[in-house]
């Protein structure tokens, strides 16, 4: 069963397409990465999943049912713009937010106790939200997202602005939820996080989906034509080699995309003696490289060919 099925959704604001004919499916019990550059339409798509804004066309099915208000109770949502009522007391705030998710009475109080205890916030129950440190407010925001035991999590830029402790905490919750068979979709710019925890991804750019599917399959499609080089010295001359299609130079570290049919061993031979090689690895391209390739460079190519 798919936890989420999006079919051909479009949303226009005036003449501007925020999302255009986007489709993807998320299998239940997986972690799904939703990526794209700023302004690509990620937040609009996520808001449509949450029924906060309504698509002009297309359909969204969540947990095998058409998205409606009742479904909101089965989804845990962490918006990109996070916030809590600063003047409310922690306990009252959680109770209110649990109530509007359909969780009431003693059941709600039990969950609040459990999560406050788990995140070490029990002593802060009677304090106002504004008295909490930023890190504690972040934890409180996680509790809000998980308190009603949702089957599907929709997290918009969940790692943005988190300190390292809370980053780990959130990642652990995500994996724990996956373990329990829950489904998670999250958007981010941070490719290394996607590579570490996502099963499937969707990449959108300029309102349209450009890449979708299983992460390892996508990488395979791109083939083993990437060389990761860890070096000392001046390696700028690599650019001019005929077998090199593209380099991504960080000064001590370089990701080199080779042209098709070219042999990485030839490249290694040419490098020996010119620079000090600490590591030379042939692998699939990093998601970062795919991202830049799909989003950034594609346009350049288009202009060149015209």
Residues 102, 141: Cα–Cα separation, whole Å:
18
Give whole-number Cα distances, 276 to 31, 255, 272, 305, in Å: 40, 16, 8, 37
Residues 246, 134: Cα–Cα separation, whole Å:
42
Contact between 52 and another protein (CB under 8 A)?
Answer: yes
Shortest CA distance to 226 belongs to which of 301, 286, 276, 298?
286
CB of 28 to another protein, least distance (A): 20
Q: Are 89 and 126 spatial neighbours (Cβ–Cβ below 8 Å)?
A: yes
Interface of this chain with another protein, residues 125 to 144, rule: CB under 8 A:
141, 144
CB of 300 to another protein, least distance (A): 30
Q: The tokens of 76 are what? A: 């845990």
Q: Interface mask (CB under 8 A) for another protein, residues 65-104, using x and -?
A: ----x--xx-x-x-x-xxxxxxxx---x---xx-xxxx--
Q: In this chain, which of 20, 42, 47, 139 binds another protein, going by CB under 8 A?
A: 47
Determine how β-strand 253-258 pairs with β-strand 226-232. antiparallel
CB of 13 to another protein, least distance (A): 8
Strand order from edge to edge, sheet including 226-232? 244-249, 253-258, 226-232, 276-283
Contact between 204 and another protein (CB under 8 A)?
Answer: no
Contact between 54 and another protein (CB under 8 A)?
Answer: yes
Task: Identify which of residues 106 and 261 has a Cβ nearer to another protein in the complex.
Answer: 106
Q: Are 158 and 146 spatial neighbours (Cβ–Cβ below 8 Å)?
A: no
Task: Identify which of residues 31 and 95 has a Cβ nearer to another protein in the complex.
Answer: 95
CB of 200 to another protein, least distance (A): 23
Q: The tokens of 129 are what? A: 């939200």
Residue 148 φ then ψ, to 5°:
-95, 20
Residue 145 φ then ψ, to 5°:
-75, -30
Contact between 13 and another protein (CB under 8 A)?
Answer: yes
Task: Identify which of residues 115 and 231 has a Cβ nearer to another protein in the complex.
Answer: 115
CB of 81 to another protein, least distance (A): 4
Task: Identify which of residues 69 and 300 has a Cβ nearer to another protein in the complex.
Answer: 69
Task: Identify which of residues 81 and 179 has a Cβ nearer to another protein in the complex.
Answer: 81
Positions that interact with another protein (CB under 8 A): 13-14, 47, 50, 52-54, 56, 69, 72-73, 75, 77, 79, 81-88, 92, 96-97, 99-102, 141, 144
């Amino acid at each position: 069963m798919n936890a989420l099925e999006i079919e051909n959704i479009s949303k226009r604001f005036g003449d501007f397409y925020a999302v255009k004919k986007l489709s993807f499916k998320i299998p239940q019990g997986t972690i799904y990465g939703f990526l794209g550059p700023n302004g690509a339409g990620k937040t609009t798509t996520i808001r449509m999943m949450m029924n906060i804004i309504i698509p002009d066309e297309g359909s969204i099915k969540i947990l095998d049912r058409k998205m409606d208000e009742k479904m909101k109770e089965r989804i845990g949502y962490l918006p990109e713009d996070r916030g809590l009522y600063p003047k409310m007391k922690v306990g009252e705030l959680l109770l209110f937010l649990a109530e509007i998710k359909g969780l009431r009475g003693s059941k709600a109080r039990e969950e609040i106790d459990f999560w406050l205890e788990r995140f070490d916030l029990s002593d802060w129950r009677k304090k106002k939200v504004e008295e909490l440190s930023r890190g504690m407010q972040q934890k409180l925001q996680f509790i809000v997202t998980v308190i009603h035991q949702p089957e599907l999590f929709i997290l918009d830029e969940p790692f943005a602005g988190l300190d390292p402790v809370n980053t780990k905490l959130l990642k652990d919750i995500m994996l724990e939820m996956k373990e329990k068979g829950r489904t998670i979709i999250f958007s981010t710019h941070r490719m290394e996080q996607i590579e570490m925890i996502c099963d499937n991804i969707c990449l959108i750019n300029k309102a349209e989906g450009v890449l979708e599917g299983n992460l390892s399959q996508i990488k395979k499609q791109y083939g083993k034509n990437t060389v990761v080089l860890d070096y000392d010295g001046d390696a700028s001359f690599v650019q001019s080699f005929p077998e090199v299609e593209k380099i991504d130079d960080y000064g001590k570290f370089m990701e080199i995309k080779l042209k098709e049919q070219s042999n990485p061993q030839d490249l290694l031979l040419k490098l020996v003696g010119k620079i000090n090689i600490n590591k030379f690895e042939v692998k699939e391209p990093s998601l970062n490289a795919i991202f830049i390739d799909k989003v950034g460079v594609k346009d350049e190519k288009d202009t060149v060919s015209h």
